[in-house]
Chains A and B, each alone.
Chain A
Amino acid sequence: MKTILHIIKKEFQQFKRDPKMFGIILLAPVIQLIFLGYAVNMDIEHVTAVVFDQDHSQTSREYINKFSSSNYFEIVDYVDNYDDIQSHLENGSATLGIVIPNEFEKNIGRNRTTPLQIIFDGSDGNKASISAGYVMSITNKFARNILMDYRNKTGQKISPVGSIEAEVRAWYNPELKTRVFMVPAIVGLLLSVITLILTSLAIVKEKEIGTLEQIIVSPIKPLQLILGKLIPFAILGFVVVGIILTAMTFIFGIYTRGSFTFLFFSAFLYTLSTLGFGILVSTLSRTQQQAMMLAIFVVLMPMIFLSGFAFPIENMPQFIQWLTYVVPLRYFMTIIRGVILKGVGFSELWLELLALFSMGMAVLTRDSSYF
């Protein structure tokens, strides 16, 4: 136990010697949180549209008005041929084109169904389908209003046909902001980066300068060495988590609904794996560059992609979904989103905790067999 303390102490003395590095470690996560928090905004708010109004009627103008007055659309141009729509879509200055045909008003006046053409840039499928939803809802509302007007004008006293209106409420994230969903995940992301990359670099650095050999020839046991190396970085990781959680509340107004103790406990179980992977990477690398490459491209990136950080796991092919079961970050993402957004705790998340614990132990066991 004493021996472990010596290593921990030394590790902190080294942190202290490099205050710039230390500052970066503590400040960078906040800056990253801000960048990522704003960058991963996947909400679709400004859909650019061009209008090709062949009708030039009162009704067509009203219809277009519905778009420009909504918060979702911005009409960037009015054109008078299809080629112009195409060039707008091609150079990206508009995501959709609205084509109102010649007989639009006349057809409505004659109580006939009138077609409308909406042309999308479907290259971002997600954006296109969400915007299509907006278009549908604006169009339906417009059609209903026409119907009501017609009834009022003709003095028919039939009450509007009983229709069903679903009142949809999204819990935990009432405004359906992707940011609310993403920012807690960034806590998990940054914790992974710090614990994984810094540990592997710290050990490979000792390999490079030769002090690792000096430690290996001492009577110190592999487990002591590993713990002595891991604990300082785990502490550092926790400090960073604390900082990010605070920043999250102050900058984005997202606060943790669940228990902090539970959150830190799960973070601890999660870092068993990341620190363990950090050591694994360092045993496989000779230089700090190699370690960096391995850590980022072989461990971190696949782990992030397979964690459900950005792409929902349910949408992945079955085979890939199976793969995600061995990705610790997957479980930690579930935990951290659950605790921060829903305020859930042990009774809902014990399975995830168990998964994290077993994976951490597996990686650490593999590590200690190396030294």
Chain B
Amino acid sequence: MNLPLHYIARNLWTRRLTTALTAGGMALVVFVFAAVLMLDAGLRRTLVGTGSEDNAILLRQGVQTEIQSGVSRDQAALIESQPTVARNAKAEPMVSKEIVVLIGAPKKGDNKPQNVVVRGLGEVGIALRPQVKLIEGRWFAPGASEIVVGKGVHAGFEGMDVGGSTRFAGRDWRIVGVFDGGASAFDSEAWGDVEQLGQAFRRIGYSSVIARLAERSDFARLKASVESDVRLKLDVKVEPLFYEEQSKALSQFLSILGIALSLIFSLGAVIGAAITMYAAVSNRIGEIGTLRALGFRRAAILWAFLLESVLLALLGGVAGLAAASFLQLFTVSTMNFTSFSQLSFGFHLTPGIATQAMVFAAVMGVVGGFLPSLRAARMEIVDALRAG
């Protein structure tokens, strides 16, 4: 490559309207591509951020979600007595026995009922989630029909405000606070006292048990101990792994959707780039002949036009990525099919996604520019000089 870069860049600038239109097509594709990846990244961050490496979650063997799971009181007591479980200052085991149920609540906007996860837990359960912070009101009182809602629920559902109440399981539940789940899946939950919720939903046992490990390295021992105890027919996982599995189906769906959309759109953008580059070659046949006469080789011509096409695509890539980065201001609320509940999460732009988007743009540039560049490189000098 020995043609100066400013030769390439200025040719794009000279026909800036065409350049803008073609790059705009590329930008659209990169926008869609990046948006879907950002959604996927946001989803993962939300769900993975929900768990902590210090916590182990125990569910009935073979189930995927807390909703489907059941853990008896006896089993929960056996877990509390595990030596690998951490204890607090009062020497109580740091084990949270929780009930997880779904209720229907009207969404803001269309008033259509959607599932909301209601989690019953106690003081320990709150302590095990340090990322969850109360931002309004107070926590629910033990023994009271009170709930505290995540900020996603507060924002997305009708009547989920402090001072109000909501009715489910045959009772009215007072809403006494709003918490911020630290961009985790807890934002899309409502929390209340585990004993009160158990009574209201007529549950004898629990849904899941979350145990703080004495040491992270104790996980393997806890797992071995749980699996070897015939009374404990439970699966045990570290929380981040559990939550990652929760997001798998939705994440796969998003990835496939994203790839399919991007491929379809990119076909149009690539054809657009090819048309633009063919026109550029036709307009510069005389120039090509001159450059070749001056001693530039065919390969230099090929590179120059290919680079022009790639530069064009990268311009589109930067524009598309810039537009996509604004999506981070928005939050998406969608059904997580694994848990059948609403989950809200944001778009999250990572350096990896930015790189992938730019590589994708560059590939579109290469594919769109290849045939026109080849045509430019294959011309005979005298023919090019006569035609120009």
Are A and B interaction partners? no
**Residues on B facing A (Cβ under 8 Å):** none
